[in-house]
Structure formats: C-alpha cells, structure tokens
Chains A and B, each alone.
Chain A
C-alpha cells in the first residue's frame, strides 16, 4: 500500500469513498482489516467463515458508502464492527447459545469476590505478567461468555472508544459500560486459573 492517505481520518476517507475513491477505500481496508479479522475470528466457528465475514464487511462498506441516497456513515470503526458482527452471526455462532440461568445475573460484589477481591495473590505484579503472555490471555478470553468476550475484545483488545463499542454492539453507552466492567471482572476470575 502506498503511503498516500495514511494520515487522513476515517471520516475524511469515508467522504472520499462516497466519491468512489477506491484508493481511500483501500486505505480503510489496510487500516482496519487486522482488528476486524481478529474480532470475527472470535465469533465464527471457522477461519473460512471469518474470512467471508471480513470480505462481506468491506463490500458492504463500499456499497453503502458510495450509494447516493444513503445517510453518511459517521463513525467508521463503530459502523465496521457492527457490520462485521452481523456478518459473522449470519454464518452461525461459534457455540450454542448459553443456557438461561435462573439464578439471575450475579451482583458486582459476587463478581468481585470471584475475581479475587481481598485475596493476597490478586495483585498488580501478578497481573502485569500477562503482558508477556498472550496465550494465557487468549485461553482465559475463550472461557468467557460470548457477550462478555465481544465487549472486552472491542474495547480493550482492539481499543475502540466507548462510543464506538456501544455503536458496534447496538447498546446504550451505560449498558456497554456495565457489561464491560462485568466482563473484565469475569476475565480476572478466569485468569486466576491460568498461570501467567
């Protein structure tokens, strides 16, 4: 990919895509393909489904972005992850839906206790070690429920803003934040079982 256009924001690139600028589109593809692929890979049952979802996402972006009658796309990243998520879900989820729990959602205090609040071994030094331990993190992430994993992947792994994450998941900002906090506590609990 030649360097031109790299410094432009997603929103500026989208304006150019609306004028059928294929180069601007290719810059967007290069910029977002890795994070979108990681995201759909976590949602799909197979690598092939993930690739199809990735391709469909960018085709949708181009068609939507160049349509004369469509409302402009405001936040490229939130939009892209939203499209990718739907594309992945149409190809079937990685696992069957979780069984309904009749005990209801756990309270924050319960989640905190399971994450090790008050336990001596839950300390910053231990958790800093996971920086060098992508495998341990991936294993713990795989043990989360899908709704927990996707909010954590978008916000913390891929670094989307709070607004982008909420848009991608179709949640209000408050609902997204609550789910994110609970997902992080669940990951802390899972990491207690996985050595750094």
Chain B
C-alpha cells in the first residue's frame, strides 16, 4: 500500500483489514481504541474509513417495497397450496 504508515500502534493496511469489524461494531474495546487513534492521526484512513461507513449506511436505504401484485399472487398461491 502506497503511503502505508504507522499511527496509534497500527499500520494503514491493518486499519483497512479491520474496517468492516469497526463499522459493524465487532472490534473489542482495545482494538477499537487503536483504530480510532490511528484514524485521528491519518488523513487517508479518516477519509477512506468515513467513506466506507457512509456507503454501508447508504446501501441500507436502497430497499424498494414488494409490488402489490406480487404480494397478491403470493397470497393466492399460498391459499391454493396450503389450504
């Protein structure tokens, strides 16, 4: 990784590897604190980590509802097949 640097006891490539667990709240407290110390001192990881988190949050809103006709046909099919 170009410009890989060590801050807060972690290298950028280690922060990159931990991003998913960070965003999903699955890091233990000590590791989480290290990631946050790194990000506070590293512009590249702050920008990239922030973008990653925003993207994950955006994706969760991209869910359209089921069309009414599909729901109606499902109900009829279930009534037929299950009695």
Contacts and interface: CB of A to CB of B under 8 A. Distances in A.
A82 interface: no
Contact of B55 (A109, A113, A191): A191
A34 interface: yes
Contacts of B21: 177
Interface string A115-144: 111101011101110110110011001000
A51 interface: yes
Contacts of B24: 162
Contact of B16 (A59, A109, A191): A109
Nearest to A158: B63
Interface size bucket, B side?
35 or more
Q: Which of B1, B55, B66 has the most CB of A within 10 A?
A: B55
B1 to A, nearest CB: 5
Given A59-B81, A134-B62, A54 B1 contact: no
A83 interface: no
Contacts of B30: none
A38 interface: yes
A13 interface: no
A123 B59 contact: no
A51 B58 contact: no
Interface residues of A, number: 50
19 contacts: A35-B63, A51-B70, A55-B73, A113-B1, A115-B48, A117-B44, A117-B48, A124-B50, A127-B58, A128-B58, A137-B59, A158-B63, A162-B24, A184-B55, A187-B55, A187-B59, A188-B51, A188-B52, A188-B55
Interface of B: 1-3, 12-13, 16-17, 19-21, 24, 26, 44, 47-48, 50-66, 70-71, 73-75, 77-78, 81-82
Interface of A: 22, 25, 29, 33-35, 37-38, 51, 54-55, 58-59, 62, 108-109, 112-113, 115-118, 120, 122-124, 126-128, 130-131, 133-134, 137-138, 141, 152, 156-159, 162, 177, 180-181, 184-185, 187-188, 191
